[in-house]
Structure 1
Amino acid sequence: MIRKLAEQVKEYKGASIATPLFMLLEVAMEMMIPLEMGNILDKGIQGNSLQAIFFYGGIMILLALVGLFAGFAGGKYGARASAGFARNLREALFRKVQTFSFANIDHFSTASLVTRMTTDVTNLQNAYQMLLRMAVRAPASLIVAMLMAFYINARLASIYLVIVLLLGLFLFVIISVVRQIFRQVFREYDNLNESVQENVTGIRVVKAYVRESREKEVFSKTSKALRKMFVKAESIIATGIPAMSLAAYGSILLISWFGAHMIVSSELTTGELVSLLAYSMNILMSLMMLSFVFVMITMSAASAERIVAVLEEEPEIVNPKDPLMEVPNGEIVFDHVNFAYKKKAENFVLSDINLTIRSGETIGIMGATGSAKTSLVNLISRLYDISGGSLKVGGNDVRDYDLKTLRDAVSVVLQNNVLFTGTIAENLRWGNKTATDEELRRAAKMACADEFIDRFPEGYDTFIEQGGTNVSGGQRQRLCIARALLKKPRVLILDDSTSAVDTTTDARIRKAFREDIPDTTKIIISQRVSSVRDADRIIIMDDGRVNAFDTPEHLLESNDIYRDIYEAQTQGGSGDFDENGGED
């Protein structure tokens, strides 16, 4: 785990090395000051030498100035190293997530990934800065102060040693207990972020159903659980404060008591006692700093484990060694394909799928909710990998293609139509970043998006807010279709992507497809018969299997499922064949 995190230091190695060196210089300067204080007392004041007072006083000022510079430089380089480390870590996490398949993302959940890239990285940033500064300064100060104390008087210094060992054991027990609590804390953070994400994303639904009070209760429950765990952890940590105070004042009293007796018996000078007391405070302050370091490390250890879990996650879908860089055509062949979302699943989502789709065909897909329509088309562009059998596009297995090449050739408009913050033109160019203005207009016209874009005062420069909240559902769908068309795909898949579009506009879009992209294979998932009635053939899905695959005319004569849907919709029924509920 440490090696994986250390890889992200990269160009900040210099700052990471400079920080502890400056901290050591600061400690060295500070540890010399108590000796000079003793010299001022013994050789200056008691020796009645003004020259000695000025000499050793001047040395103290010089030591303090050098220590001040070292502390400032250490803070500056520590901040640079920790902030740079956090930046690299976030970028590494983000780049890693971009390589994930849908299955990898399902493994972590979106809310958990957001927590890891924000809260967890911030924890590691703070811990890294503390490691470079306090984790070097505190033990160095402790060791040097202890050595100097033994150098002055070994008998009195042994008091420090006993107290340090007892206090260290106490802190170790506290940290062991708290570490387990912090692991639970960050899992609860995931739940909190998930609650916020769901609420903000679905705020319109929440308000439409007047469910604000329920959402407040859910958030409050998660927040209270988080607070309870934090209070528990902080309460345990807080027991270290009185223990530190007891150790500090106890050692001062013991040293003062025994030191006074030793001064009377001429075994110790007043200056040496003052130096010992100064070192006593250094040792105890170092212990206190170390306790904070251990607490931060304890908190960040849980974060580190969660971050490394993402960095070490192997993408389930990767490029082959010698990938094919061109998809010849839009032919699609499913040969005894099976699919399950999890490798160890007992049942397949798709079972024994056998289909041959000719290049340039328009194929409709219909079936009840939960019949695995979306799962079927997700396999074509390798958003998921098949569990068994063979799936070919353009005569080659999809696993033999370069991923970018395949996904550029198989353009998918998913059920959840997502637009990004930026202008309409910028959103459309997600399909082709080099697309000309003319190509944008052509794609928009095919998707029937030009009619509302031209009505906007700023046209293609109209700003789209996050999630496309300032355009309607139908407009959002048409923009997503236009974006997919800009890729000039061999295969175009519309996953219920015209559900918010009126039937007239839907018909115009399909007409544009027939006339403008006749060689592109078009696959249309829809709940509306009108959206697929002019398809060359229609696939009827039923419980993860192909129930029928034929022309609309033949299906109307021979297939009960299609006939029931057709009659329900053409005779004024709802045509809702979602009997059991669920999702694709």
Structure 2
Amino acid sequence: MIKLRKFLKPFRLTIFAVLTLILLQSLSELYLPTLMSDIVDKGVVKGDTHYIWKIGGYMLMVASGGMICSVTASFFSAKVASGFGKTLRSKVFKHVGDFSLHEFDKIGTASLITRTTNDITQVQQVLVMMLRMMVMAPMMCIGGIIMAISKDAKLTLVLAVSIPILVLAITIIAKKGLPLFKVMQIKLDNLNRVLRENLTGIRVVRSFNRVEHEKKRFDAANLDLTETAIKVNKIMASMMPIMMIVLNLTTVAIIWFGGIRISNGHMEVGDMMAFIQYAMQIMFSFIMLSMMFVMIPRASVSAGRINEVFDMTADISDPSAPVSPKEKKGHVEFQNVTFSYPGAEMPALSNISFSMKPGEVTAIIGGTGSGKSTLINLIPRFYDVDHGKVLVDGVDVREISQECLREKIGFVPQMAVLFTGTIAENIRFGKENATEAEVKHAAEIAQASEFINNMPDGFDSVIAQGGTNVSGGQKQRLSISRALVRKPEIYIFDDSFSALDFKTDAMLRSALKKETENAAVLIVAQRVSTIMDADQIIVLDNGEISGIGKHRELMESSPVYREIVMSQLSEEEIA
């Protein structure tokens, strides 16, 4: 948690105000038993009613002042904690936004969500308590000991026995609880992962009648978390009974030995009453600390998990002196590119070399796992190559800033992703300031205008979370519209026509040809009919290029391509 204190810098003045108010509150609470002692010894014993009213008025003023300080300190501490949580969430989100796909694969989406929400909330809650209790408890403890000694030094020997017992109990319980809190957060990650997979894959779960299986899977993860939570709460729950036993026995001991000292004339009745209250303040300060120890172990685990995110630096970062390509608009070249995923035994791509020019359509085809999607992910620099170079407009992509590079690219992913909002907002995701005419034109080219116009609100129709209220083909066409409205220099379509019927596919490709005549177009496809007219077709086989050329050339020179064509088209269609 110490590493996260830098995020408290904007709240330094407010924190200082909280500490000052808590100091004043503590002083008022420490002063009240002394005033009560004076009332008993000088007012009640001597029958001085005027003195009782006078000191009683002081007590009321001191108590009112302490209450005001307490309420104000609570308000400011809550304000600091809320602001801290907001800042921390924003920083984590921004930091995660710079991650490459490798970091996302390493931590996992479910864990990142838990860390950004639950873990930060844990730290935020503890911060409120720390600002109040962690400051107030030592003040009350030290102040109470000083005041108790001032009343009767010998009677404080009772506290010298009870306080070490309390400290020992807190230490043992905290040591047992800390490892369990760490396990608990990991199991919360697992529960979040199971829940997320079940909700996002609900169609698959229901279609294969695996609802009961998923319920059992969730129940198992839920029970695992619950059992750990019960175990850790049992350990922490044992703290309060121990505290109360020690507290009550201490009170009995003070009354016992205090009564003896009063009977011997070494102590006044009022002083013993004040001493009991100071003893209670000291003991309650340890109880406050024990409450902190219930939450601090879990918060420290959460803070560690947040720091793991901050400590993880992205593999891909902008160069210190980025280069801006000025010539060859839309030119892409691969030079002997080899790439392996982290931990993989074999390269996903080996010795890939080819070039794309503006005004040309380049198609990539190959079997499942041949490296098609991996290849196109290297152009926008989602991953960095192990060997070789990927050049865009004559400059290595590692020498261009990521923002500048991706401004040149219109990317349509294999899995069409839509965001909650209107259709127009989803299309404008590609170009924020796109006009209404540009949005409609992009939709028309993508063959999406017909189904959009048939929707109740047209372009203002709302897309549900994950695009669940539109079909797969409609999702793909909206994703293509999003890329088209950008008017980039390079278009990348990662199997983006697979959900379209042959008629729509043909119409879309015909419209795209006119729209992208000045840009380089890269199409990854499974269907041969989609790429037969491409200017060059790259055939991938096990991460290597087995052939480059036009359709007719590859039919003669590439056995792999010929096999793919024969499996999809009849002899009449091939002829």
Give TM class, smaller chain.
over 0.9
Aligned pairs for 1:273-352 within 5 A: 273-326=272-325, 328-342=328-342, 345-352=344-351
Q: Which has the higher mean CA deviation after the structures are superposed, 157-166 or 409-418?
A: 157-166
Q: Secondary structure at the match of 2:352?
A: strand
CA distance in 1, matches of 2:296, 2:20: 21
Amino acid at match of 1:175: A
1:9-42 deviation digits (Å, cap 9, x = unpaired): 2433222222222111111101111111111110
Q: Which has the higher mean CA deviation after the structures are superposed, 495-504 or 317-326?
A: 317-326
CA distance in 2, matches of 1:292, 1:302: 17
Q: How much has 1:457 moved relative to structure 2?
A: 2.8
Q: Secondary structure at the match of 1:9?
A: helix
CA distance in 1, matches of 2:160, 2:391: 73
- Counterpart in the other structure of 1:64: 63
8 Å CA contact 1:326–1:405 kept in 2: the answer is: no
- Counterpart in the other structure of 2:77: 78
CA distance in 1, matches of 2:386, 2:155: 73
1:344-370 deviation digits (Å, cap 9, x = unpaired): 654322122122223332111111211
Amino acid at match of 2:356: I
8 Å CA contact 2:547–2:557 kept in 1: the answer is: no
CA distance in 1, matches of 2:203, 2:158: 67
- Counterpart in the other structure of 1:112: 111
8 Å CA contact 2:349–2:371 kept in 1: the answer is: yes
Q: Secondary structure at the match of 1:494?
A: strand
Residue ranges of structure 2 left out of the alignment (5+ in a row): none
Say whether residues 1:47 and 2:46 are aligned partners: yes
Q: How much has 1:158 moved relative to structure 2?
A: 2.3
Q: Secondary structure at the match of 1:412?
A: strand
8 Å CA contact 2:410–2:491 kept in 1: the answer is: yes
- Going from structure 1 to structure 2, the CA distance change for 1:360 and 1:120 (only over 3 Å counts) comes to same
Q: How much has 1:562 moved relative to structure 2?
A: 1.4
- Counterpart in the other structure of 1:362: 361
CA distance in 2, matches of 1:333, 1:63: 79
CA distance in 2, matches of 1:134, 1:469: 48
8 Å CA contact 2:364–2:522 kept in 1: the answer is: yes
1:265-314 deviation digits (Å, cap 9, x = unpaired): 00111011101111121111111110011221111000001111112221
8 Å CA contact 1:379–1:385 kept in 2: the answer is: yes
Residue ranges of structure 1 left out of the alignment (5+ in a row): 573-584
- Counterpart in the other structure of 1:510: 509
1:177-214 deviation digits (Å, cap 9, x = unpaired): 21111111111111111111111111122122221111
1:523-554 deviation digits (Å, cap 9, x = unpaired): 11111111111111111112222222221111
CA distance in 2, matches of 1:346, 1:499: 31
Q: Secondary structure at the match of 2:414?
A: coil
CA distance in 1, matches of 2:554, 2:47: 115
8 Å CA contact 1:9–1:88 kept in 2: the answer is: no
CA distance in 2, matches of 1:162, 1:386: 67
Q: How much has 1:451 moved relative to structure 2?
A: 1.8
Q: How much has 1:374 moved relative to structure 2?
A: 0.6
Amino acid at match of 2:123: L
Amino acid at match of 2:245: L
Q: Which has the higher mean CA deviation after the structures are superposed, 71-80 or 206-215?
A: 206-215
- Counterpart in the other structure of 1:2: 2
8 Å CA contact 2:334–2:352 kept in 1: the answer is: yes
Amino acid at match of 2:432: K
Q: Secondary structure at the match of 2:500?
A: coil
1:204-248 deviation digits (Å, cap 9, x = unpaired): 221222211111111111111101111111111122122101210
Q: Secondary structure at the match of 2:7?
A: coil
1:404-449 deviation digits (Å, cap 9, x = unpaired): 1111212211112111111111111111111111111111111111
8 Å CA contact 2:330–2:392 kept in 1: the answer is: yes
- Counterpart in the other structure of 2:268: 269
Q: How much has 1:87 moved relative to structure 2?
A: 0.6
Q: How much has 1:385 moved relative to structure 2?
A: 1.0
CA distance in 1, matches of 2:475, 2:110: 24
Q: Which has the higher mean CA deviation after the structures are superposed, 6-15 or 471-480?
A: 6-15
- Counterpart in the other structure of 2:96: 97
Q: Which TM-score applies when normalising by structure 1? A: 0.95
Q: Secondary structure at the match of 1:133?
A: helix
Say whether residues 1:519 and 2:518 are aligned partners: yes
- Counterpart in the other structure of 1:177: 176
- Counterpart in the other structure of 1:578: none
Q: Which has the higher mean CA deviation after the structures are superposed, 264-273 or 201-210?
A: 201-210
The number of residues matched between the two structures is: 570
Q: Secondary structure at the match of 1:7?
A: helix
- Counterpart in the other structure of 2:194: 195
CA distance in 2, matches of 1:205, 1:362: 36
- Going from structure 1 to structure 2, the CA distance change for 1:112 and 1:448 (only over 3 Å counts) comes to same
Q: Which has the higher mean CA deviation after the structures are superposed, 162-171 or 90-99?
A: 162-171
8 Å CA contact 2:325–2:393 kept in 1: the answer is: no
Q: Secondary structure at the match of 2:322?
A: coil
CA distance in 2, matches of 1:562, 1:308: 50
- Counterpart in the other structure of 1:238: 237
8 Å CA contact 1:420–1:464 kept in 2: the answer is: yes
Q: Which has the higher mean CA deviation after the structures are superposed, 434-443 or 448-457?
A: 448-457
- Counterpart in the other structure of 2:488: 489
Say whether residues 1:499 and 2:483 are aligned partners: no
- Counterpart in the other structure of 1:579: none
8 Å CA contact 2:325–2:394 kept in 1: the answer is: no
Q: How much has 1:164 moved relative to structure 2?
A: 1.4
8 Å CA contact 1:319–1:402 kept in 2: the answer is: yes
8 Å CA contact 2:447–2:507 kept in 1: the answer is: yes
- Counterpart in the other structure of 1:386: 385
Amino acid at match of 1:212: V
Q: Which TM-score applies when normalising by structure 2? A: 0.97
CA distance in 1, matches of 2:160, 2:325: 72
8 Å CA contact 1:13–1:81 kept in 2: the answer is: no
Q: How much has 1:115 moved relative to structure 2?
A: 0.3
Q: How much has 1:322 moved relative to structure 2?
A: 2.2
- Counterpart in the other structure of 1:448: 447
8 Å CA contact 1:349–1:544 kept in 2: the answer is: yes
CA distance in 2, matches of 1:326, 1:445: 32
